[in-house]
């Protein structure tokens, strides 16, 4: 395929931004150019700093909430988002707009339709979000997790692919990861991850249970989330006389290393975090955020548990979590079993599958616009799949 320009809309949370970055990395490797459209949130600005090679534009957006003031804010921001996105699309004329959900997607997708530019949507969660449901009939292609369905959409539009993971997220040896982070090699380490926005409930749990679990020789590496906790550490003495610690950092630019350094991960159940756990082959205890839209984190976590990648504990049952951590983190047979299952889950290259389908779709669209028949079977299937 000749080099093309792409617009990727992926702001609002790390779970939207991270797969957009991954797709941009793949496109640039294939010789294409791209631009990310992100939200104006601090979390987006913080994460994207690592990728100066990817052009970025931030546009106004707001979530859809039913409170009168917030509803007015939603419509006002979306009108501004459509205007800003349409101006950008007119200027750059991308071959396609690829949106990763969240209401940052709204302005760019509507703008793309007004400019007659093809649209692809990607849903990472096992319960499609409101933005994807709202925009589904504007899309030429929708990517869903394997086994997930979305009503009201023609079957030819749907493809089932997983979560594109960034290049730098990969499994490394625990010793190497711990050396890079500057933490002790000895002892068991539990990484506690609250997602890109942090999790106060998990941070509080660490503070309440550090002494008891520390006495067993368990260290904590806690990513608290920006604004959810300060950087620092606590220390205590284990029963064998060794020193253990709880390290707190508000944000990490190197989640692959953080995950790889741990023996076990305690985490929220965002689709992006789960994909990174799979890529790093790291066993986990998932605590779904109970107030997530459509309870999507519960469905993400339950599917991961069914695939043998870890276990699920409800936030309402945090009282049992200390025993779960103790029973798993010292059980090498069980940890090995989880790791084996995670290696199996990591076989598919979701990013390459999505990129190839996008290329096929664009070739089919170009052939259709030119009034010429597709030159090969794959292009025909891109517009008229049999499954």
Q: Give the tens place of pLDDT for each residue, 302-331.
A: 999 999 999 999 999 999 999 999 999 999
* pLDDT over threshold 70, residue 164: yes
Q: Name every residue whose Cβ is closer than 8 Å to that of residue 207 and which is 6 or more positions away in sequence.
A: none
Confidence of residue 386 (pLDDT cuts 50, 70, 90): very low
Residue 380 pLDDT greater than 60, yes or no? no
Residue 52 in this model has a pLDDT that exceeds 80 = yes
Read off the pLDDT of each residue in 103-119 and give the average, rounded to a whole number.
92
Residue burial 287-324, b: 16+ Cβ < 10 Å; e: rest: bbbeebeeebbbbbbebbbeeebbbbbebeebeebbeb
305 or 373, higher pLDDT: 305
pLDDT greater at residue 46 or residue 19: 19
- Residues 224-270: pLDDT tens digits? 876 656 678 899 999 999 999 999 988 888 999 999 999 999 999 99
Cut 0.85: pTM above it:
yes
Provide the CA 45 distance to its chain's centre, in angstroms.
16
The residues near 215 (Cβ < 8 Å, ≥ 6 apart) are 236, 237, 238, 239
DSSP at 157: G
Say how far apart CA 367 and CA 383 lie, in whole Å.
11
Of 304, 309, 300, whose CA–CA distance to 282 is shortest? 309
Name the one residue in this structure whose structure tokens are 């292609």. Answer: 141
Q: Which two three-digit tokens encode residue 348?
A: 């598919």
Domains 5-162+349-383 and 174-345 share a fold: yes
Domain ranges of the chain: 5-162+349-383, 174-345
Provide the angle, in degrees to the nearest 10, between the axes of the packed helices 321-329 and 332-345.
Answer: 90
Q: What is the CATH number of domain 174-345?
A: 3.40.50.2000
Return the CATH fold of 5-162+349-383. Answer: Rossmann fold (3.40.50)
Q: Of 70-79, 80-89, 344-353, where does mean pLDDT reach its minimum?
A: 70-79
Rounded (5°) CA angle 314-319-321: 65
Residue 60 has pLDDT above 80, yes or no: no
More confident residue, 370 or 205: 205
User: Percentage of residues in the chain with pLDDT exceeding 70?
Assistant: 91
Q: How far apart are CA 387 and CA 364, in angstroms?
A: 17
């Amino acid at each position: 395929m000749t080099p093309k320009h792409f617009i990727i809309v992926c702001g609002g949370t790390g779970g939207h931004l991270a797969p957009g970055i991954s797709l941009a990395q793949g496109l640039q490797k294939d010789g294409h150019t791209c631009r990310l459209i992100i939200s104006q949130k601090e979390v987006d600005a913080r994460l994207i700093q690592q990728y100066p090679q990817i052009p970025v534009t931030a546009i106004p957006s707001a979530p859809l909430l039913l409170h009168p003031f917030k509803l007015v804010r939603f419509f006002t921001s979306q009108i501004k988002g459509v205007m800003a996105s349409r101006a950008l699309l007119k200027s750059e004329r991308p071959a396609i707009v690829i949106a990763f959900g969240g209401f940052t997607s709204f302005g760019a997708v509507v703008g793309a339709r007004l400019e007659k530019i093809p649209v692809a949507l990607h849903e990472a969660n096992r319960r499609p979000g409101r933005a994807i449901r709202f925009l589904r009939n504007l899309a030429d292609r929708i990517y869903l997790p394997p086994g997930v369905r979305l009503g009201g959409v023609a079957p030819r539009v749907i493809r089932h692919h997983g979560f594109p993971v960034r290049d730098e997220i990969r499994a490394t040896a625990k010793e190497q990861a711990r050396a890079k982070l500057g933490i002790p090699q000895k002892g068991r380490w539990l990484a506690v991850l609250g997602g890109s926005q942090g999790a106060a409930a998990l941070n509080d749990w660490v503070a309440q249970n550090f002494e008891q679990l520390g006495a067993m020789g368990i260290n904590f590496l806690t990513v608290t989330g920006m604004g959810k906790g300060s950087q620092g550490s606590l220390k205590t003495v284990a029963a064998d006389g060794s020193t253990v610690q709880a390290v707190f950092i508000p944000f990490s630019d190197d989640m692959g290393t953080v995950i790889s350094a741990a023996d076990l991960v305690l985490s929220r159940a965002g689709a992006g975090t789960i994909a990174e756990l799979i890529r790093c082959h790291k066993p986990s205890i998932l605590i779904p955020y109970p107030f997530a839209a459509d309870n999507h984190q519960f469905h993400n976590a339950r599917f991961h548990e069914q695939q043998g990648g870890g276990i699920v504990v409800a936030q309402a049952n945090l009282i049992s979590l200390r025993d779960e951590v103790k029973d798993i983190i010292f059980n090498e047979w069980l940890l090995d079993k989880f790791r084996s299952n995670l290696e199996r889950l990591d076989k598919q290259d979701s990013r390459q599958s999505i990129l190839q389908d996008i290329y096929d779709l664009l070739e089919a669209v170009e052939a259709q616009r030119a009034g010429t028949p597709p030159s090969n079977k794959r292009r025909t299937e891109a517009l008229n799949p049999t499954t």
